[in-house]
Amino acid sequence: MANAPGTGKTIVTLACVRKDFAKLTPTVIVAPASVVTNWCREARKWLGKVKIHAITDTYSAMPKPGGVHVIVTSWSLLSSRAHEIAKLRPRFLVADEAHYAKSEEAQRTIALARLAKVCPHVLLLTGTPIINKKSELETLQDLFGTTQVPMIRRFLEEVVPEVPPKTRGTLAITLRQKDMAEYRKAEEDFSEWLERELRTRMSLGEAIASAQRALAAEALVKSGYLRRLLGTAKVPAATDWIGRAVRLGEPVVVFCEHQDVVSALEDSLRRQRIGCVTIDGGASRKDRQAAIDNFQAGKVPVFIGTKAASTGITLTRARHLLFLERFWTSAEEEQAEDRIRRIGQTRPTNIWFLHATGTVDDRIDQIITRKRKLVDQTIGSYRIEERDEDAVAELISAWTEATASPFAGQETDLGHGKPLPPIPVPAECCMLVFTGKRWTSAGASAWAKLHGFRQVRSLAGDGVVKVHTNDPSIFEPGRFVTIPVSTEVKAVMGTVRKPFKRRR
């Protein structure tokens, strides 16, 4: 089942189990670690009172044969526990994000193949465009024991025509003078290294195209510093844009690639007193789920994710998603985009790319745009696979060519103006005042909740909504001041009474 992300592959799979429960249980589900908890939760929701066992480590005891209906484990644990799973005599094997097993030499592929041999029913799930090499397709087909494998490929518009559309837009910026100077030095160092390596390889008789391809893997690492430096330099602009969005009551999803950039963004938002949750490669299964739940419940306005958060999760509370850093491939970006546009989304979604003109962003944008057009024009686009190394090889081949930024002259002032005032401290706020036609009592209350304010009571009238966030009696009389939070939101701040101390 190669349906696009967000089309309900999880629910369809569990519906199969429910329809033929006796025939398809025990069911084994192999999934990315980030969605193991979600598979367990959805299984309880759709299958009712069933016995579910999640394998989350390499040493915990396994249930006895016949004592469990659904077993869920991660790809990272599959090779070490596959022999124990096989002893449970599973009848249905489900591989979520099945492209994890496209390499026949990988241990997880070997382990999956062993389970497939003992399971009479096998279902592979993947929502991303995959398979460029015939051998990779054959590796997945071998799991079925035949090359004539039925494949279902449907897109979100086919499954749920009523899901609102997705729009992409670019937020062009210029870096601050100091940051641009530091970036230029790093770019020159990369250029010198690339020229030196190419010259050395060509002097040994290697063709230019071969030399460029051979350097792609190393250039991917070398360019990492350049891109981290650029990503960090874009944090002030990102914070500015996020700050404006959340002050309008809009939850926001932000994707970065490098941990340095994530940390810098977290620190910048903290100084603005804007709450956020983060999922990166180091997040535990419990922390991942808590981050998703808190964002979806409206407890924080910002979700920050790396590629570790780009698959298998639902973030439909947001209708705006910002790429602070570009990924190397269109497939990875679209996988991340579909975290907010999937079944359950009722509003049009907007994807924003924070683009620094005159930097490597220009070249990456050209590479991804060209690949996206190729995929769109290709019949059976599930056979298109993109690798970071392929994109870097394109980058190398065009590095010395003059490139005009496609967004030159369209730059915004993001990150260059006076920083927005921090969100007020809830404990010192007596009341929030919302003006403008767009604000309702429910909308104002949701805004207050999103930023950590509690609501004592709410009053609406004459185009104004007032949300009392603390009992006025806790403040000193006559010591109130009104401060602007945005053009439509103001906070009435007070001085909290000091505790009365009785004299002895």
Tell me the residue range of the domain where 108 lies. Answer: 9-159
Residue where the block lists tokens 């190419």:
198
Q: At 342, which CATH number?
A: 3.40.50.300
Over 80: is that where the pLDDT of 216 sits? no
In this structure, the answer to whether residues 172 and 243 fall within a common structural domain is: yes
* CA 315 – CA 338 distance, rounded (Å): 9
Q: Are residues 259 and 370 in the same domain?
A: yes
> What does the pLDDT average to over 329-353?
88
Does the pLDDT value for residue 270 go beyond 80? Answer: yes
Say whether both 173 and 320 belong to one domain. Answer: yes
In a domain, 284, yes or no: yes
137 & 175 share domain:
no
pLDDT tier for residue 393 given thresholds of 50, 70 and 90: confident
Domain-located, residue 70: yes
Domain assignment present for residue 437? The answer is yes
Q: Which residues make Cβ contacts (< 8 Å) with residue 428, sequence separation at least 6?
A: 493, 494, 495, 496
**Whether residues 28 and 175 fall in one domain:** no
Which tokens is 126 given? Answer: 């993947």
Q: Is residue 404 part of a domain?
A: no
For 139, 303, 335, 384, the CA distances from 380, given in Å and listed in that order, are 19, 33, 17, 8
The domain that holds 68 is classified in CATH as 3.40.50.10810
More confident residue, 27 or 134: 27
For 171-214, the pLDDT digits (tens) are 999 999 999 999 999 989 888 888 888 878 777 777 777 777 77
Mean pLDDT of 357-374: 85
My answer on whether 346 and 250 are in the same domain is: yes
Confirm whether 212 is domain-assigned: no
**Do 117 and 136 belong to one domain?**
yes
Can you tell me the mean pLDDT for 424-437? 92
- The reply to whether 41 and 154 lie within a common domain is yes
Judgement on whether residues 25 and 80 belong to the same structural domain of the protein: yes
Residue 296 corresponds to which tokens in the numbers above? 């979806």
The answer to whether the CB of 125 falls within 8 A of the CB of 97 is: yes
Tokens of 395: 């980058």
Residue finishing a domain among 159, 189, 220: 159
Determine the average pLDDT of the residues in 336-356.
91
- Residues 279, 371, single domain; the answer is yes
Same domain, 97 and 175: no
Looking at residue 503, its pLDDT comes to 53
**Partners of 480 in beta bridges:** 494
What local confidence, expressed as pLDDT, does residue 428 receive?
Answer: 92
Cβ neighbours of residue 168 under 8 Å, at least 6 residues apart?
350, 351, 352, 353
Looking at the structure, do residues 56 and 127 belong to the same domain, yes or no? yes
Please state, for a pLDDT cut of 90, what percent of the chain lies above it: 43
Write out pLDDT tens, residues 79-122. 899 899 999 999 999 999 888 887 777 888 889 989 998 999 99
> What residue type is 228 in one-letter code?
R
Which one-letter amino acid corresponds to residue 500?
F
Bigger pLDDT: 372 vs 421: 421
Q: Which residues pair with 469 in a beta bridge?
A: none
Decide if 229 is inside a domain. Answer: no
Better-scored residue on pLDDT, 11 or 4: 11
Q: What is the mean pLDDT of the chain?
A: 86
Q: What whole-number distance in Å separates Cα of residue 350 and Cα of residue 347?
A: 10
Q: Work out whether strand 464-468 and strand 457-461 pair parallel, antiparallel, or are unpaired.
A: antiparallel
Give the total number of structural domains in the chain. Answer: 3
Instruction: State the average pLDDT over residues 410-428.
Output: 89
Domain presence at residue 186: no
Is residue 377 assigned to a domain?
Answer: yes
pLDDT, position 500: 55
Q: Give the alpha-carbon dihedral of 311, 316, 322, 327, to 10 degrees.
A: 10
> What pLDDT is stored for residue 419 in this prediction?
83
pTM score, two decimals? 0.75
Would you say residue 349 has pLDDT above 90? yes
Strands 320-323 vs 252-255: parallel, antiparallel or unpaired: parallel
Contacts 24+ apart (CB under 8 A), 109-114: 109/139, 110/79, 111/78, 111/79, 111/82, 112/30, 112/78, 112/82, 112/143, 113/142, 113/143, 114/82, 114/83, 114/86
In the predicted model, what is the mean pLDDT of residues 273-285? 90
Q: What are the pLDDT digits (tens) for 308-317?
A: 888 878 999 9
Q: At what angle do helices 208-233 and 360-377 cross, to 10 degrees?
A: 120
Instruction: Say what the pLDDT of residue 128 is.
Output: 62
Among 131, 159, 187, the domain-final residue is 159
